[in-house]
């Protein structure tokens, strides 16, 4: 639980660049117009330019990725940079705001991370926008004299709302994206601390350390649905000694106000021993403590990275399993498609295919 001791300008001798400079340069992004390979079939799949809501599960589309795109954020101690990954073709594309986690890594907790899940969602019809939040290791702000540090829970949610305020800027910055967004179909999705960010946007309230511990709401009504992946659970006596002092933003979440429809995803082996003694159930609190409508996907044998959603061949992944990643991606995208259009059978079809029978990857509960 000790914060990284590497300074923001730490230089990797093999590369000769600081972490901050690498992040700013956007290394690792696919060039706009390039084909991203999400499995062998994606590189070969072409999608008709007039398709509406592109992205059937058996017909993934080519995707493009652009970044960094810098958005206006007056008074922010670092530029607000986002990466946008989108289907190369298609109209009326739903939008996902994706929130990265807080882990002790250099780049995966930024817009450079989460390629496996982001590529999957984009290749199945979603425009995914990934901001780099102020707690990203490369920015070196976790030890700043700021009551919102080290997690920057408030700033994270505010950044997501800033992104929505500037969708016009994003459309202009990404070639061939203008006019293709379905702005009435916006979702918040996040992993780990990013799940906390998504929950805030969906209506969860919390005692905000940057506001003297006052309970606040940072909900954004433009967000119609969400997916909380391995997010933190309740605070108080559910937390191990010292956690609330180190991370006060986690001490008193109030899920009773999280009324927006959401899917909660948790691995049944995500024990979170650094935070709680409650085991895997702690990561399911956003389902059990929030009002309906909610669904819970419990991933069998899933640990915190759920097979490797945060990065390809990531050292953080303790349960490497590409099939598990693909299943989480399919169930996430299917849930959102049906949440945006109740006549779309994608959610039920994905549940039937992946959570029933002898080879089920998990189980789904709903209320």
- Reduce the DSSP state of residue 113 to 3 states and report it: coil
* DSSP-derived secondary structure letter, 239: B
The residues pairing with 12 across neighbouring beta strands, listed in sequence order, are 17
Residue 2 lies in a domain: no
- Positive or negative: CA dihedral 72, 76, 78, 82: negative
Number of domains in the chain: 1
Residue 325's CB is within 10 A of a number of other CB atoms, namely 21
Residue 115 lies in a domain: yes
Quick: pLDDT tens for 52-107: 343 445 567 899 999 999 999 999 999 999 999 999 999 999 999 999 999 888 88
φ, ψ (nearest 5 deg) of residue 97? -90, 120
Helix (H) or strand (E) holding 331: helix 322-340
pLDDT > 90: what percent of the chain?
81
- Reduce the DSSP state of residue 292 to 3 states and report it: coil
Task: Tell me the CA distances in angstroms from 231 to 37, 90, 109, 164, 198, one per residue in order.
Answer: 28, 32, 15, 22, 9
Residue bearing tokens 């117009």: 33
pTM: 0.86
Residue 5 lies in a domain: no
Residue 105 lies in a domain: yes
CATH number, domain at 209? 3.40.50.1820
Residue 168 lies in a domain: yes
Length reported for the chain: 367
> Mean pLDDT across the chain, nearest whole number?
87
Quick: pLDDT tens for 183-216: 999 999 999 999 999 999 999 999 999 999 999 9
Domain containing residue 327:
11-366
Residue bearing tokens 């203008």: 178
Residue 128 lies in a domain: yes
Answer yes or no: are the C-beta atoms of 321 and 307 closer than 8 Å: yes
Residue 248 lies in a domain: yes
Quick: pLDDT tens for 93-149: 999 999 999 988 888 999 999 999 999 999 999 999 999 999 999 999 999 999 999
Q: For the chain, give percent helix, strand, coil, nearest 5.
A: 30, 20, 50
Residue bearing tokens 């289907």: 87
Closest to 209 in 3D by CA, of 131, 115, 146: 146
Residue 320 lies in a domain: yes
């Amino acid at each position: 639980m000790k914060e990284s001791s590497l300074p923001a300008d730490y230089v990797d001798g093999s590369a000769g660049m600081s972490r901050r400079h690498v992040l700013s340069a956007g290394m690792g992004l696919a060039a706009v117009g390039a084909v991203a390979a999400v499995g062998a079939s994606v590189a070969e799949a072409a999608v008709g330019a007039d398709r509406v809501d592109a992205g059937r599960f058996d017909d993934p589309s080519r995707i493009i990725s652009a970044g960094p795109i810098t958005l206006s954020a007056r008074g922010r101690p670092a530029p607000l940079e986002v990466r946008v990954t989108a289907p190369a073709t298609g109209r009326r594309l739903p939008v996902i705001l994706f929130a990265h986690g807080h882990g002790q890594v250099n780049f995966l907790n930024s817009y450079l991370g989460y390629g496996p899940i982001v590529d999957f969602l984009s290749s199945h019809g979603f425009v995914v926008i990934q901001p780099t939040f102020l707690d990203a290791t490369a920015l070196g702000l976790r030890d700043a004299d700021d009551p919102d540090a080290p997690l920057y829970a408030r700033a994270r949610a505010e950044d997501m709302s800033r992104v929505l305020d500037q969708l016009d800027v994003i459309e202009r910055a990404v070639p061939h994206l203008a006019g293709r967004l379905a702005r009435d179909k916006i979702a918040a999705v996040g992993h780990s601390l990013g799940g906390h960010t998504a929950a805030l946007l969906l209506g969860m309230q919390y005692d905000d350390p940057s506001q003297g511990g006052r309970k606040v709401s940072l909900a954004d009504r433009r967000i119609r649905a969400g997916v909380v992946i391995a997010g933190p659970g309740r605070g108080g006596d559910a937390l191990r000694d010292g956690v609330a002092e180190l991370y006060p933003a986690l001490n008193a979440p109030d899920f009773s106000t999280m009324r927006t429809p959401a899917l909660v995803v948790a691995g049944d082996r995500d024990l979170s021993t650094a935070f709680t003694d409650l085991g895997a159930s702690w990561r399911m609190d956003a389902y059990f403590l929030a009002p309906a409508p909610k669904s819970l996907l419990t991933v069998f044998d899933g640990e915190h990275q759920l097979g490797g959603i945060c990065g390809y061949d990531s050292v953080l992944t303790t349960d490497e399993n590409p099939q598990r990643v693909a299943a989480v991606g399919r169930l996430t995208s299917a849930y959102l498609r049906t949440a945006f259009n109740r006549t779309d059978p994608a959610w039920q079809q994905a549940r039937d295919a992946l959570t029933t029978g002898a080879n089920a990857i998990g189980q789904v509960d709903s209320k």
